[in-house]
Structure 1
Amino acid sequence: MKQDTQNPPTDSQFGKDDVEVISRQTGYQGFFSIQKLELRHKLFAGGWSEPIRRELFVRGGATCMLPYDPVRDLVVLCEQFRIGALYEGSSPWLMELVAGINEEGETPESVACREAQEEAGLEVKALRKIHHYLPSPGGSSEAIDLFCGLVNAEGVEGLYGLPHEGEDIRVRVVSRELAYTWVESGRIRDAAGIIALQWLQLNREQLLAEWREFL
């Protein structure tokens, strides 16, 4: 059954109707935007909260995919500069998954396939949905659709990316086990990469059974 990413299951007693947005203003508009909101919401103990003022980083949806070659037991990773890591850790060049922003009219599946070609020269033969999650819901609207994709990783190492989008990507092909040691050591630090590689470690046998027809 396809997961409803707009209305995922929940056991919370509250929903969107239990939040009242008093005012909403655009504080900044650029590649992304920041909204200034005043709101109140229902309380677990009953009644309503006092008005709360918050800033919301409006980013929308994105798709990340872990390219996996099950025949050779290899994963494909993208090394690139990330501004968000400039003042955190020893280097702002991170080892990440294939990823891209969901444009209007695109499905997460089509984004995964498009970005695999643009960022790593890969053809995706099959996709397995891992999860839909919110990476930083305390202040950002971003939602991530996370996949594992079946690929042939032979000969894809090299430099990729679209220069007009400011992309400078070095594609690395490593064993699944080495990639997981990079998770444990902190070499891989982004949430999508950590989640996807941990998922692959736990679910590899099931995944191979699902992909048997493509192998």
Structure 2
Amino acid sequence: MAEIVSTEVTHNRWSKLTVATIRLPDGQLTKRDIEDHGEAAVVLPYDPARRMATLVRQFRTPPFHVSGDGMMLEPAAGRLDEADPEACARREALEETGLRLTQLEPVACVWTMPALSTERAWMYLAPYAEADRVAAGGGLAEEHEEIEVLELPLAELAAMADAGTLTELKLLLLVQTLRLRKPELFP
């Protein structure tokens, strides 16, 4: 059985970076980095009547740093500021997309990057109707999110998944889950 021998916090801002010294089952010592920024809730709102989904597009520094393209198409998501992940999913959907969601369909609670991060993401699908759009969305000004709200046909999202052009993993997972659970929404 592995054992954490010691930890040292090396950075603590939006996320905390810790170096852990681990004793492996064979007795050898090694060091591992741990990134911690809390848990998250992620939701893909979809309109079953119109066969549309509401997504966000926003700038992300790490993809920009690596590839030069930082604009990411994503589901609404955010860190848990409350104990209830469903409340977080509803809050983030309202802030980012302007949708007031009532019904959430749990998908999974997944480790997003277990080799490095402590983040678990609570994943949801959420049906909505046009009457559920109660605000413009776009995120909070004080968080400098500059979010663009997009509504895309589900068929287009399926085609993007099949073509390998949905590059944000949580979005890909939610689109594919919606296809499996509700195939009648995809012509």
TM-score between both structures, scaled by the size of structure 2: 0.90
Structure 1: which 4+ aligned runs deviate by more than 4 Å?
153-159
Instruction: Specify every segment of 5 or more residues in structure 1 that has no aligned partner in the other structure, as ranges.
Output: 1-17, 43-47, 208-215
Distance 1:162 1:181 in 2: 31
The answer to whether structure 1 residue 26 and structure 2 residue 6 are counterparts is no
The answer to whether structure 1 residue 64 and structure 2 residue 42 are counterparts is yes
2:94 and 2:137 in contact (8 A); partners too = no
| Matched residue, 1:203 | 181
Larger mean CA deviation between 164-173 and 178-187 belongs to 178-187
The answer to whether structure 1 residue 50 and structure 2 residue 33 are counterparts is no
The answer to whether structure 1 residue 107 and structure 2 residue 84 are counterparts is yes
1:74 and 1:153 in contact (8 A); partners too = no
1:62 and 1:145 in contact (8 A); partners too = yes
The answer to whether structure 1 residue 182 and structure 2 residue 160 are counterparts is yes
Distance 1:173 1:93 in 2: 16
The answer to whether structure 1 residue 166 and structure 2 residue 144 are counterparts is yes
- How far is the alpha carbon of 1:162 from its aligned partner? 0.8
| Matched residue, 1:211 | none
1:38 and 1:52 in contact (8 A); partners too = yes
Q: Deviations over 1:74-127 (max 9, x none)?
A: 111101101121134462101100001011x43110000001110011011210
| Count of residue correspondences | 184
- How far is the alpha carbon of 1:146 from its aligned partner? 0.5
Change (3 A) 1:128 1:50: same
1:34 and 1:57 in contact (8 A); partners too = yes
- How far is the alpha carbon of 1:205 from its aligned partner? 5.1
Q: Deviations over 1:10-47 (max 9, x none)?
A: xxxxxxxx3321111101111111001101243xxxxx
Change (3 A) 1:184 1:154: farther
- How far is the alpha carbon of 1:71 from its aligned partner? 1.4
Distance 2:38 2:27 in 1: 27
The answer to whether structure 1 residue 36 and structure 2 residue 19 are counterparts is yes
1:80 and 1:168 in contact (8 A); partners too = yes
Q: Deviations over 1:107-165 (max 9, x none)?
A: 11000000111001101121011111112111111111110011124795966111100
Distance 2:132 2:174 in 1: 23
- RMSD value over aligned CA atoms? 2.2
2:99 and 2:132 in contact (8 A); partners too = no
Specify which of 52, 56, 78 is matched with residue 56 of structure 2: 78
Larger radius of gyration between Structure 1 and Structure 2: 1
Distance 1:180 1:169 in 2: 23
Query: For residue 100 of structure 2, what is the amino acid of its counterpart?
Result: E
- How far is the alpha carbon of 1:73 from its aligned partner? 1.1
1:82 and 1:93 in contact (8 A); partners too = yes
